[in-house]
Amino acid sequence: MPELQLDGLVGPSHNYAGLSLGNLAATSNAGAVSAPRAAALQGLAKMRLVLGLGVPQGLLLPHDRPNLGLLRAMGFDGNDRAVLTAAHGEDAALVAAAWSASAMWTANAATVSPAADTADGRTHITVANLATMPHRAQEWPATLAQLRLAFADPRHFVVHPPVPASFGDEGAANHMRLAPGHEAPGLEVFVYGENPGGRFPARQHPRASAAVARRHGLRRVLLAPQADCAIEAGAFHNDVVAVANGPVLLAHEQAFADRDGLVARLAAEVPGFCLVEAPAGEVSLEDAVGSYLFNAALLSVEGGMALVLPGEAQANPRVWRWLQRVVQDPANPIHTLHVRDLRESMRNGGGPACLRLRVQLSDAALAAVDRRVLLDEARLDALERLVERWWPERIAPADLGNPDLMDQCRAARRALLDALGIAPRELGEA
């Protein structure tokens, strides 16, 4: 059974605004000059790698930014240029949120339960409300529209609106599925945060996780709390410290509040369960968060599994040494490490796993996905040329008040929609 990877194409407005408290990379790079063109090309190179590994690869589109609708709802009026200029003069932080390209991290787009796990035998998808961070809470309507376009066939798919915003939901970044293989019924693990009195917010509310599991009609579910120390160390999503694929859980020893209880349940309930764990004495939480080693894309490929890692994981000697041991150990199926430069996304706290939403599908369901979101080599070539032509080379914080940049970003996105043959009205846009 194939597992479609839907990566977010990095949008033309990618910038470093330091909007995410608890995301150490994002807050420490606040105010830096970004390189949207390079960022999108880095993402496309990763998609090309995954496609080359024999894994189906698609994309989700950047959202329309800056989000003038948000600024108008906040009381700014006049024509678009006037709205941007006035808002920037008064509340630059609000304007930065309106420009955010954070929809690129599609692990936060939705939670996906494959047909093998659900009561009605269809793939269920709940779009994430992303309610905890204002710059991310604006994403779900455009994401919902795209998911409804991509997964329109009701014989195979059910796309749900978000759970109520009173309960923060950050989608697949806090969701792991363990099963002997993609096609077998699995145990879905929803990881939530608590962190009472901590410096950093927990973003995934357990009620949101339970609601998603209920809506999807899941038969086998486990709710597991994240370790508060992981959140405090900068693991704002569980996928910063753990990743699962098939029967394999690759995780940091301190990722979960009740590590022993979780491991015991998985060992009892998942046939062939295989734990690949980094001991804190060898790889600290700080190493894990700084290198994003667990934010690897763990993929089923010919002969076993491969990890797609960011360059930062290779640059940390303790992390790299541990990874070498993992691939040499015949007790787990991970046999290859692929390292890619994703520096632009990484500097906002987004590694290889953040950039992709996984959708496990039967061949028939894959054939029912809207072809326009699927990639092949020729389409990747065309997208690279398009990005080189239209995406801004650099964005500095002061540029966010510049209406010309707004025009450029809108033109870039229009060119992308044209190239893919998607009309704005299909996404509910004027």
Q: Which residue among 124, 136, 175, 356 contacts ligand SUG (CB under 6 A)?
A: 136
Q: Is 225 in the site for ligand SUG (CB under 6 A)?
A: no
133 or 178, CB closer to ligand SUG?
A: 133
Distances (CA, A) of 68 to 74, 102, 277, 358: 10, 16, 45, 30
Cα–Cα–Cα angle for 80, 12, 429, rounded to 5 degrees? 50
Query: Which of 18, 29, 87, 92 shows the shortest CA–CA distance to 398?
Result: 92
Two tokens, residue 361: 């599908």
Q: Backbone phi, then psi, for 389, in 5-degree steps?
A: -80, -40
Q: Which is nearer to ligand SUG, 10 or 383 (CB)?
A: 10
Among residues 374, 347, 382, which one has the least CA distance to residue 60?
374
Determine, following the binding rule CB under 6 A, whether residue 19 of this chain makes contact with ligand SUG.
yes
Q: Which of 213, 205, 148 is nearest to 176 (CA)?
A: 213
Number of residues binding to ligand SUG, judged by CB under 6 A: 23
In this structure, are residues 239 and 293 in contact, taking their beta carbons and an 8 Å threshold? no
310 upstream amide cis, omega within 30 of 0: no
DSSP state for residue 53 in the 8-state scheme: T
Q: Which of 50, 61, 107, 218 binds ligand SUG (CB under 6 A)?
A: 107
Does position 23 interact with ligand SUG (CB under 6 A)? The reply is yes
- How many Å separate Cα 235 from the centre of its chain? 14
105 counts as binding ligand SUG under rule CB under 6 A: yes
Between 113 and 362, CB nearer to ligand SUG: 113
> Does residue 240 belong to the site contacting ligand SUG (CB under 6 A)?
yes
Q: How many helices (H) and strands (E) does the chain have?
A: 17, 15
239 binds ligand SUG (CB under 6 A): yes
Active site residue 237: yes
Tokens of 192: 């939530």
CB of 412 to ligand SUG, least distance (A): 18
Residue 26 interacts with ligand SUG (CB under 6 A)? yes
User: Interface with ligand SUG by CB under 6 A: which range of 18-26, 262-270, 327-335, 398-406?
Assistant: 18-26
5 lies in the site for ligand SUG, by CB under 6 A: no
Question: Computed over its alpha carbons, how large is the radius of gyration of the chain?
Answer: 20
Rule CB under 6 A: say whether 204 interacts with ligand SUG: no
Q: If residue 158 lies in a helix (H) or strand (E), which one and from where to where?
A: strand 157-160
Residue 143 or 362 having the CB closest to ligand SUG: 143
170 is catalytic: yes
Q: CA of 155: how far to CAs of 110, 124, 213, in Å?
A: 20, 11, 20
Nearer to ligand SUG, 18 or 246 (CB): 18
Q: Is position 294 an interface residue for ligand SUG (rule: CB under 6 A)?
A: no
Q: Pick the stretch among 103-111, 160-168, 263-271, 380-388 that binds ligand SUG (CB under 6 A).
A: 103-111
Residue 131 touching ligand SUG (CB under 6 A): no
Q: Does the annotation mark 229 as catalytic?
A: no
CB-count burial class (<10 Å; 0-12, 13-18, 19+) for 331: exposed
- The residue annotated as part of the active site, out of 124, 216, 354, 409, is 354
User: Taking the complex as a whole, how short is the minimal distance between the CB of residue 423 and ligand SUG, in angstroms?
Assistant: 29
**Out of 88, 124, 156, 170, which one is annotated catalytic?**
170
Q: Is position 36 an interface residue for ligand SUG (rule: CB under 6 A)?
A: no
Q: Using alpha carbons, select from 221, 213, 223 the residue that is nearest to residue 187.
A: 221
The reply to whether 103 sits near ligand SUG by the rule CB under 6 A is no
342 is a site residue for ligand SUG (CB under 6 A): no
Bridge partners (DSSP) listed for residue 249: 244, 275
406-412 LR contacts (CB < 8 Å, sep 24+): 406/66, 406/80, 406/81, 406/84, 408/12, 409/11, 409/12, 409/13, 409/65, 409/66, 410/64, 412/12
* From 8, 11, 12, 18, residue interacting with ligand SUG (rule: CB under 6 A): 18
Rank residues 76 and 105 by Cβ distance to ligand SUG and give the closer one.
105
Tell me which stretch binds ligand SUG (CB under 6 A): 115-123, 236-244, 271-279, 383-391.
Answer: 236-244
- What is the nearest approach in angstroms of ligand SUG to the Cβ of residue 130? 8
Amino acid 276 reads V
Minimal distance, residue 354 CB to ligand SUG, in Å: 3
Q: Of 117-125, 349-357, 362-370, 395-403, which segment contacts ligand SUG by CB under 6 A? A: 349-357
Query: What residues have CB less than 8 Å from 10, skipping those under 6 apart?
Result: 36, 39, 40, 42, 43, 62, 101, 104, 344, 345
Out of 7, 16, 51, 373, name the contact with ligand SUG by CB under 6 A: 16
Catalog residues that contact ligand SUG under the rule CB under 6 A: 16-20, 23, 26, 100, 102, 105, 107-108, 133, 136, 173, 236-237, 239-240, 348-350, 354
Catalytically active residues are: 170, 237, 354
